[in-house]
Every structure is written in structure tokens, then in C-alpha cells.
Amino acid sequence: MRTEVITVRTGGRERVHDLTPACRRFLDGAIAGSGDGLLSVFVPHATAGVAVLELGAGSDDDLLLVLERLLPRDLAWRHRHGSPGHGRDHVLPAVVAPSVTVPVVDGAMALGTWQSVALVDTNVDNAERSVRLSFLPG
């Protein structure tokens, strides 16, 4: 298995960050030529997740809006350290999982036409995230 940790600067704001280019660069270095297997994308944080969705057509903003409605940033959360409403960020990984697995066929991610791999981060208290990319050959 090949693995690498990358750093993503989220700027301390709620964000959906496209990881697809970083995943492609990782696969280019992890696979000599073409290869099949599985790409795991994992965020080792209690307040972030990874999603596969369409980006750049408003879907990323729609996702953040849905998360705000589902998990409002208010004072109702029992988990209270950090900025007001930070407890919602600790519930996020139960809604947006902290990892995804993407099939790799002939050296490329087998994503659908409009699919991208994205980091979903609602934690405004943490401006930098680690993302572990791992390739398991088939």
C-alpha cells in the first residue's frame, strides 16, 4: 500500500474543498503506469468529512446550506468548547463520513462525469487539515 498525507488550508471558514486534483497527483506518483485498485481518502479529524459530489455548479454551497439547516450553529449543543455552536462540527462526521473509497481502473479514479472528491469542513476554529491518501493495488 502507498500512502501520503497532504495538508489543506481551509482558511478558518466553512468550506467544501476539491481534493480531486490532489488525488490525481497522488495516483500519478503511486502507480507506475496503469494500475487497478482502491484509493482511500481519509481525514483524521473529529470535525471534518469527505464526500463525493458535483462541485462548482452550486452544489458545494447547497451542501453547506443543508448542513447548516440540519446542524445549526447555535448554543443547543452539549459539546461547548471552541467558537459558539462548535458542537455541531463534532457531529458532522456522523453525517459526512471521514473517508471515502474510490475504485481506480487503469490508473485513474473511476468517478462519474460530474463527480469530485471533496473535503467538507465546517470547523471555523481549525484553518488547516490533514488528508491521508492511500492506494491499495488490486
Assess contact for 49 and 43: CB atoms under 8 A: yes
The residue segments making up the domain with residue 89 are 2-137
**What's the order of all strands across the beta sheet hosting 2-9?**
2-9, 128-137, 37-42, 99-105, 108-109
Number of domains within the chain: 1
The CATH number of the domain where 83 resides is what?
2.60.120.460
**pLDDT mean over 109-118:** 97
* C-alpha span between 65 and 59 (Å, rounded): 10
Q: Could you give the percent of the chain with pLDDT greater than 90?
A: 81
- Stated as kind and residue range, the H or E segment containing 54 is none
CB 50 within 8 A of CB 119: yes
- Rounded CA-CA distance 1/12 in Å is 32
Of 128, 16, 12, which is closest to residue 67 (Cα–Cα)? 16
pTM of the predicted model as reported, rounded to 2 decimal places? 0.95
Question: What rounded mean pLDDT belongs to the chain?
Answer: 94
